[in-house]
Amino acid sequence: MSAARPASFHEASTTAAPSLSVRAVGYGERMPLGRLTPGLRDARLIEFIGPDPATNFHFVQAMMEAGLVVREVETPSGQADALVLAHGLSGEAVDAHAGAVTKLSKAAAVFENQGGTLILLQDTGGTFQPRDDRAWRGGLTGLGRTAQKEFASATVRTIDIDVAAFGPRPAADRVVEELLSGGNAACVGISASGRFVPTEAACVLPKNRVGSIGPGDTFLVTGGARGVTASCIIELARRTNAAFVLLGRSAIEDWPEDIDPTSDERSLRGALARRAKASGQKVSPADLNRQAARLLAGTEIREALNALSAAGSRAHYAIADVADAQAVQTAVESASQMFGPITGLVHGAGVLADKLIREKTADQVTRVFGPKVVGLQNIISAIDTSALKHIAFFSSVAARYGNAGQSDYAMANEVLNRVAQWLKAANPSACITSLGWGPWDGGMVDDSLRAKFAEMGVALIPRQAGADLFADAMLAGAACPVELVIGSELANG
C-alpha cells in the first residue's frame, strides 16, 4: 500500500517563508519489506529488558520460538549483540523514559564502538496517534532517533505495538513478525488497522486569517514571558487582542537605580562587580552570574508585558513552577477569576541537560521532563481541555530527527507530539498542534552556537518569521496539522 499523506492545507514545493521550511507529519499505512531486521538472526545473544515481567515473558517466549537467542536481564551485560528495551509498554511517563535511557547508557559504549541492533518497544495504540493516556509513554521514538545519531553503525528501530488491543502474546507475535520482515525501518506502528510509518509533506499555513481568536479569549502560556515564546504570543496579541496569563519561575526584580540599563550580561556583571567593590562587598563570580541573570530575566518579562499591552491585549504574569501541581492549580484559578474562562493553552516551558546517552542519568531525564511533561500533566489536570479552542505545544525537531546529546529532550518533546494527537482525537474541532521548532536565531542561540549551526548547514529560524508562523498556525483553526516540523534538521545524517 502507498503511504497516506499527512493532513495539510495544501502541498507546496516552496517553503512558507523564504528561510522557513514547514512540513506536516502524518502516519501512512505501509506493507512490511519482507527482510529480517539486520543483526538479529546472527546475534549470539539478544538481551531483553522491560519493567513488567509478565509482559516480558510473552515477548521473550515469542522471540525464542522464532529461533532467536534471547535472555531476559535486568541490566545489559555488554556481551549481547542486540538489545530490546520494552519500557514504553507500561509505566508512568518519567519512570518509563528514565528507565529506558539509564539501561541503554550501560550498553552505549558497545553500540558506539561495535554497532549492533537496538529495538525499542512502546504502546501508544500502534499508529503513533494515541486515543488515550498511553500518549504519556510515547517518547521512545525520540530516544531511538537520538540513539541512531550517537550509534552511527548500529541498527535502531522503534515499534509502537497496540498491546492493549491485541493482548500480550498476540502483540508479541506481531512484533516478532515485524522483526523478521520489517527490515531496518526506523519507526513502525502496528495496530489492528495495519502497519504505519511516519510520513512528511510540505505545507503552507494560510496567512492573515482572523476571527477565530479575539479579545474574549484567554490564553494560559508557560515559558511565554521570555525568549522565543514571548515573541510568538506578542505577534498573536497584535493580530487578536486576546488576553494572556504568563506562568514562569523568575521573579521580576527592580533594576538598580545606580546601574545604567543594559541587555548585555557581560556588561551587567562588570557593573555589579564594580558596585560591590565600591561598597566593600566580596561577591563570588557565581553570585554575580545569578544576580545578573535575575535582573535580565525581570527586564525581559517587563518588556514582554509592555509589548502585550501595547498590542492591545490584557496580560498578567504569575510566578509558578509548572512542575508544581498546586502552583499550577492556583495560577489557573486566579487567571479565570481575573480574565474569565481559559480558552487557549500555549506550552512553551522547557530546559536542557545535554549529555550523550552513555553519560545520561535518571536525574537528568527527570529534570528535562519536569517542565515539558510533568508540567503539561499538571496543566491538563487543572484545565478542562475539552473547553479549549486552541492548544499549541512547543516541541522540537530533536523529537523528529534526534540530536546527539539530547535523548531526554527528544523524548520529552516526542511525548508532547503524542499528547497533541490524543487531545486532537478527543476534540477534533479545536486547533491543536505540536510545533517541532528547529533552532531560532535568538533565544539560547548565541554567536558561538550560530557559527556551529552555520558550519552544520542548519538554517536558523528568523525570530519574526517564527512568530508569524506560530500566529498563522493558531489562526488556522481546526485545519492546522497536529504535528508540524519547522526549520532544518539539527544534524546531518
Pure H helices in 206-259 = 227-240
Q: Does residue 4 lie in a domain region?
A: no
* Residue 471 three-state SS: helix
How confident is the model at residue 250, as a pLDDT?
A: 87
* Residue 472 three-state SS: helix
Same domain, 309 and 433: yes
Same domain, 320 and 437: yes
How confident is the model at residue 444, as a pLDDT?
A: 61
CA angle (93 as vertex; 88, 97 as ends), nearest 5 = 55
Q: Does residue 276 lie in a domain region?
A: yes
**273 CB burial (10 A radius; 0-12, 13-18, 19+):** middle
Q: Does residue 101 lie in a domain region?
A: yes
All three cell numbers of 75, joined, read 541490566
Cell 511565554, residue located? 224
Give Rg (Cα) of the chain: 24
CA angle (228 as vertex; 213, 260 as ends), nearest 5 = 120
Domain with 68, as residue range(s), is 26-199
**Exposure of 272 in the CB half-sphere (CA atoms within 13 A):** 25
Q: Does residue 10 lie in a domain region?
A: no
Same domain, 187 and 227: no
Contacting residues for 313 by C-beta, under 8 A, at least 6 apart: 215, 237, 240, 241, 242, 243, 244
Q: Are 159 and 175 in contact (CB under 8 A)?
A: yes
All three cell numbers of 487, joined, read 526549520
Task: Give the separation between CA 305 and CA 289, rounded to whole angstroms.
Answer: 24
Q: Does residue 18 lie in a domain region?
A: no
Mean pLDDT, each 10-residue run in order, the chain (493 residues): 32 42 95 94 96 97 98 97 98 96 98 97 98 97 98 98 97 98 97 96 84 94 90 97 95 89 88 88 90 89 96 96 96 93 97 96 97 98 96 97 96 98 97 96 69 73 94 96 85 40
Whole-number Cα distances in Å, 113 to 4, 189, 464: 38, 29, 43
How confident is the model at residue 277, as a pLDDT?
A: 85
Task: Give the separation between CA 100 and CA 91, rounded to whole angstroms.
Answer: 11
Cell 563570580, residue located? 285
Supply the DSSP string of 60-80, one letter for each residue. HHHHHHTT--EEE-SS--S--
Q: Are 478 and 430 in contact (CB under 8 A)?
A: yes
Q: Which residues of 331-357 are buried (b: 16+ CB within 10 A; e: fewer)?
A: bbeebeeebeebbbbbbbbbeebebbb
Same domain, 91 and 183: yes
Extended beta strands in 162-266, E state = 187-191, 194-202, 218-222, 243-248
How confident is the model at residue 55, as a pLDDT?
A: 97
Q: Are 223 and 370 in contact (CB under 8 A)?
A: no
Same domain, 130 and 225: no
**CATH code of residue 123:** 3.40.50.720
* Residue 144 three-state SS: helix
| Strands 243-248 vs 116-122: parallel, antiparallel or unpaired | unpaired
How confident is the model at residue 49, as a pLDDT?
A: 98
Q: Are 389 and 405 in contact (CB under 8 A)?
A: no
Same domain, 193 and 320: no
The pTM for the full model equals: 0.92
Q: Does residue 118 lie in a domain region?
A: yes
Same domain, 189 and 224: no
Q: Are 313 and 306 in contact (CB under 8 A)?
A: no
| Domain endpoint, select from 199, 230, 245 | 199
| Domain endpoint, select from 148, 171, 199 | 199
Length in residues, the chain: 493
**Alpha carbon distance, N-terminus to C-terminus of the chain:** 27
Amino acid at 491: A
Q: Does residue 9 lie in a domain region?
A: no
Q: CA 11: distance to chain centroid? A: 25
All three cell numbers of 289, joined, read 552570574
Q: Does residue 462 lie in a domain region?
A: yes
How confident is the model at residue 195, as a pLDDT?
A: 97
How confident is the model at residue 458, as a pLDDT?
A: 75
Same domain, 309 and 454: yes
**Number of domains into which the chain is organized:** 2
Same domain, 180 and 229: no
